[in-house]
Amino acid sequence: MPEHNTPVVVGIDGSDSALQAARWAGAVAAVYGAPLHIVHAMPSIGRNLTETAVAIQAAIMSYQHDSALIFLRAATAAVQQDQPDLSITTEASETPVDEALIDASATARLIVLGGKDVTGAAALLLGSTTLRVVTNAACPVVAFRGDAVGVSEKPIVVGVDGTAAGDGVLATAFEFAKAMAVKLVAVRSWTTRAPAGDVTIPFLIDWDALEAAEWSALTGQVDQWRQRYPEVDVECVVETMSPGRALLRHAEDAQLVVVGSRGRNALTGLVLGSTSMNLLHHSQVPVMVTRAQPE
């Protein structure tokens, strides 16, 4: 599929924040000159539910089915108000939302998960569904957060961990920074804390040398991508704190946070561990998760 025809896909659930997510996704699509595809799908029922839970789920599904076209029209109208020239298509899918979005990711530039209100439908869309989509999607996935409905001049923050997966994260972050013509802040974190027993004489450790090594590792990895994207202004930051705290700190002045996943399951995946879950729960800006491709 030609790159300019590769759509940005946004999943909506009818909530107000889903409309905001659709508007944000439309703004990103406009930046890329790409079409926007808005998807409404059925909540996942799950397994081994009680009879009461099944009845509640069935009621939610019935409501969602009857309201799908209304939700899609509302989202389309909201996006068109911001982006009148944007090409928009819609889809009301009968399949579970996670399956619909994972299938859509095969031909998408980006998947945006919209909806975070504490309702039955939104909890399904941005709860376990987020983990399933992030883990299995073939393209980057954005969990929409905050109140932004468009792109801005604020920087993009990317978490860099020095792994091979980190190169994929940097590639995605540089691409978005270039498209949005904004600064990129590359954050690497390390800590002076060591597990008990690992350091026998901690006061003999050259912490300055260790920090210099972290700087060298970060700038070395970033410079490889800076050469490919010379138009992108990059700031490298090394923080002596946990990755989650470091990224949240810099996200306060950013419009997007980009992190990586090794594509493992929700319990063992790198980005689906404490750092990314911390971001998904506490970030006030959209969080993009890009999964490493198999070697």
Q: Give 96-125 pLDDT, tens digit per residue.
A: 888 999 999 999 999 999 755 333 344 344
- For residue 129, the model assigns a pLDDT of 73
Tell me: do 162 and 134 sit in the same domain. Answer: no
Tell me: do 189 and 69 sit in the same domain. Answer: no
Determine, yes or no, domain membership for 254: yes
Lowest mean pLDDT among 24-28, 54-58, 132-136: 54-58
**pTM for the whole structure:** 0.82
SS (H, E, C) the chain: CCHHHCCEEEECCCCHHHHHHHHHHHHHHHHHCCCEEEEEEECCCCCCCCHHHHHHHHHHHHHHHHHHHHHHHHHHHHHHHHCCCCCEEEEEEEEEHHHHHHHHHCCCCEEEECCCCCCHHHHHHHCHHHHHHHHHCCCCEEECCCCCCCCCCCCEEEECCCCHHHHHHHHHHHHHHHHHCCCEEEEEECCCCCCCCCCCCHHHCCHHHHHHHHHHHHHHHHHHHHCCCCCCCEEEEEECCCHHHHHHHHHCCCCEEEEEECCCCCCCCCCCCHHHHHHHHHCCCCEEEEECCCC
Determine, yes or no, domain membership for 278: yes
- Examine the fold and report which residue of 143, 168, 201 is the final residue of a domain before the chain moves on: 143
Tell me: do 235 and 257 sit in the same domain. Answer: yes
What tens digit of pLDDT does each residue of 47-87 get? 555 656 556 566 656 656 668 889 999 999 999 999 999 99
- Vertex 279: Cα angle to 278 and 284 (nearest 5): 130
- The CATH number assigned to the domain holding 278 equals 3.40.50.620
Tell me: do 161 and 267 sit in the same domain. Answer: yes
- Examine the fold and report which residue of 143, 175, 197 is the final residue of a domain before the chain moves on: 143
Tell me: do 121 and 163 sit in the same domain. Answer: no
Tell me: do 47 and 104 sit in the same domain. Answer: yes
Tell me: do 48 and 138 sit in the same domain. Answer: yes
The total domain count for the chain is 2
Determine, yes or no, domain membership for 109: yes
Determine, yes or no, domain membership for 150: no
Determine, yes or no, domain membership for 151: no
- What mean pLDDT do residues 253-281 have? 65
Tell me: do 283 and 231 sit in the same domain. Answer: yes
- For residue 52, the model assigns a pLDDT of 61
- For residue 117, the model assigns a pLDDT of 38
Tell me: do 33 and 103 sit in the same domain. Answer: yes
Determine, yes or no, domain membership for 38: yes
Determine, yes or no, domain membership for 58: yes
Determine, yes or no, domain membership for 168: yes
- Examine the fold and report which residue of 143, 166, 181 is the final residue of a domain before the chain moves on: 143
Pair of tokens at residue 74: 């509302």
Distance between alpha carbon 75 and the CA centroid of its chain, in Å?
Answer: 20
Q: 221 is in which domain, residue-wise?
A: 156-291
